[in-house]
Amino acid sequence: MTLQDPTRSPIPYRHGNVTPLLNEIVHALDRLLADDEPTIIDLASLPFAPGELEDLEQALGTGELTAELEALGKSVIRETAYPGVWWVEHRNTGGEVVGRYIEITRSPDILMSQDADIGAGRARLRDSFDGSAPELNKETGK
Amino acid sequence: MKTIPTLGEILQSQGVSRRGFMKYCAATASLLALPPAMVPRIARALEQARRPSVIWLSFQECTGCTESLTRSSSPTLEGLIFDSISLDYHHTLQAASGEAAEAARHAAMQENMGNYLVLVDGSIPMGNPGYSTIAGISNYDMLMETVEGAAAVVAIGSCAAFGGIPGADPNPTGAMSVSDLVKDKPVVNVPGCPPIPMVITAVLAQFLTFGQLPDLDIHGRPTAFFGQTIHDRCYRRPFYEQGKFAETFDDEGARKGWCLFKLGCKGPITYNACATVKWNAGTSFPIESGHPCLGCSEPGFWDKGGFYAPLSTGKFDSGEKLAGAAVAGVALGAAAAVAGRRRQAKYMKEG
């Protein structure tokens, strides 16, 4: 959907949430630099006029890094044009947005490999060569 | 005794990764209007949560509430909430019918005595039980028998919460709400015609996550979703304060997206989350589509005058009170924000 979409109510007015949010992000960056304190802003909790969210996304721009996550639907984790400011959008398997956040952090937690997944992956890896490479088992005794 | 798997075990068996689970928890926090910092606590609680048994009773209703909840054809993230409950009786959705269905209800009650949730949509006819029966059982008898061993009752939709359209004047069936009849169990009202599906799942998520029901307002509604009016969070509100109103549906004001107060918008006295949670996967809500709010989550909204009559001329509230609303608007909005922060602080403290 775009600002010119004919299905969208033609509202020239903006609610005025964009500038205060940009200010909040500046303060959050201060905290990140001074105290290493990350901040997450849940955009679902704010009333946006039609088109205003797109204004915010445009104001933040796109930076060097974009990651896509496929887990219970697609997620996009994108660093904005301002390092340390991340646009995180979670969708479900039907493609519907279920969460939209601005994270002010060095790296969003969800990008990290999680211990539970690392453990499960390790087990899968060992299984993958246990059957096909018996000589390895002989050597290690496992 | 059968072993009930935890939600963490269920998700693991379905091949959901830890990242997927964290994403699920983030969406749950957002759903419950809790700060993102609560996500680790939600994750810990949900991992250990066990599937509660849920019995869903449908009385004098149009199935719109069930339709609202199941409107999505693809599995959704919030749909996992329903994977994590055991929906043991729902006569619209279940395959069993007749005696087998009733036997399933009784079995669920006996196996989960004192711990199951009862969800009800539709009002209960008290004028003559013959107006609505299921398997030859009157709605009243089925309700009272089922809630006896329940941990709590959730009234889904305005009919179950307040009587709804069956209870509208002249109320031919003598329709009553769940809370009119159930006095010895906690009752949560999730009104709306229909209610927002995410609000229904949020109440279940809250029960799963924290093992308790949400904070409620004077009408038994969760304050997280019914703590502010549509007007408080409406993006057209600045026009109300500037005195810019659409007078008809096709005038200049309507085209410019001005306030719909004069076209009968009930937003100023309607407590609901449509303006922020929105509908159809967050696409929009009625005012965004150019239609006034009908006030469907308020008690007796069918009998409060015409949908298109301005509040100042209708029966919802007095004109004098509304005249001051614009002046008090900013203060009300600030109070709502403070209340929200307090709620968040409470959960952070408890965490």
d(CA B214, CA B204): 10
Report which DSSP code applies to B317: S
Same structural domain, B182 and B252: no
Q: Which residues of B touch A9 (CB under 8 A)?
A: 257, 284, 288-290
Same structural domain, B163 and B272: no
Residue B133 has pLDDT above 60, yes or no: yes
Of A99, A44, A49, nearest to B277 by C-alpha is A44
Q: Residue A44 in contact with residue A50, Cβ under 8 Å?
A: no
B246-300 residue pLDDT tens: 999 999 999 999 999 999 999 999 999 998 888 877 788 999 999 999 999 999 9
Task: Look up the domain containing B305 and give its range.
Answer: 237-339
Does B335 reach chain A within 8 Å, measured CB to CB?
Answer: no
Q: How many domains does chain B have?
A: 2
Calculate the average pLDDT of chain B: 83
Residue B99 has pLDDT above 50, yes or no: yes
Q: What is the CATH number of domain A1-111?
A: 3.30.1370.140
Q: For residue B177, what is the domain's CATH number? A: 3.40.50.700
- The model's confidence at residue B74, banded by pLDDT at 50, 70 and 90, is very low
CATH 3.30.1370.140 domain range(s) in chain A: 1-111
d(CA A122, CA A120): 5
Same structural domain, B71 and B140: yes
Same structural domain, B140 and B163: yes
Residue ranges of A 63-122 with Cβ closer than 8 A to chain B:
69, 71-73, 75, 90, 92-94, 96-99, 101, 109-110, 114-117
Percent of chain A scoring above 70 in pLDDT: 81
Residue B15, pLDDT score: 79
Residue where a domain terminates, one of B226, B261, B283 = B226
Residue B2 has pLDDT above 70, yes or no: no
For residue B304, being part of any structural domain is answered with yes
Percent of chain B scoring above 70 in pLDDT: 84
| pLDDT average, residue stretch A103-123 | 91
Residue B321, pLDDT score: 47
Q: For residue B308, what is the domain's CATH number? A: 4.10.480.10
B201-253 residue pLDDT tens: 888 888 878 888 889 999 999 998 999 999 988 989 889 988 999 999 999 99
Residue where a domain terminates, one of B226, B249, B269 = B226
Same structural domain, B151 and B58: yes
Burial of A92 (0-12, 13-18, 19+ CB in 10 A): buried
Same structural domain, B191 and B83: yes
Same structural domain, B111 and B152: yes
CB contact under 8 A, B29 and A42: yes
Same structural domain, B193 and B255: no
Same structural domain, B80 and B173: yes
Choice between A56 and B199, residue whose per-residue pLDDT is larger: A56
- The model's confidence at residue B79, banded by pLDDT at 50, 70 and 90, is low
For residue B9, being part of any structural domain is answered with no
Same structural domain, B253 and B204: no
For residue B16, being part of any structural domain is answered with no
Same structural domain, B179 and B268: no
For residue B348, being part of any structural domain is answered with no
Does A53 reach chain B within 8 Å, measured CB to CB?
Answer: no
For residue B26, being part of any structural domain is answered with no
The β-bridge relationship of strands B137-138 and B133-134 is: antiparallel
Residue with tokens 């952070």: B348
Residue B155 has pLDDT above 80, yes or no: yes
For residue B1, being part of any structural domain is answered with no
Same structural domain, B169 and B293: no
Scanning chain B, the segments in alpha helix (DSSP H) are 7-13, 18-31, 39-48, 64-69, 79-83, 98-111, 139-147, 157-162, 178-181, 197-210, 223-226, 237-242, 252-255, 274-277, 319-323, 325-350
- The model's confidence at residue A10, banded by pLDDT at 50, 70 and 90, is very low
A68-85 residue pLDDT tens: 999 888 999 999 999 999
d(CA B203, CA B222): 8
Q: Which residues of A touch B79 (CB under 8 A)?
A: 92
Residue B183 has pLDDT above 60, yes or no: yes
Residue A137 has pLDDT above 60, yes or no: no
Residue where a domain terminates, one of B226, B252, B274 = B226
| Maximum separation of any 2 CA atoms in chain B, in Å | 68
Quick check: ipTM above 0.95? no
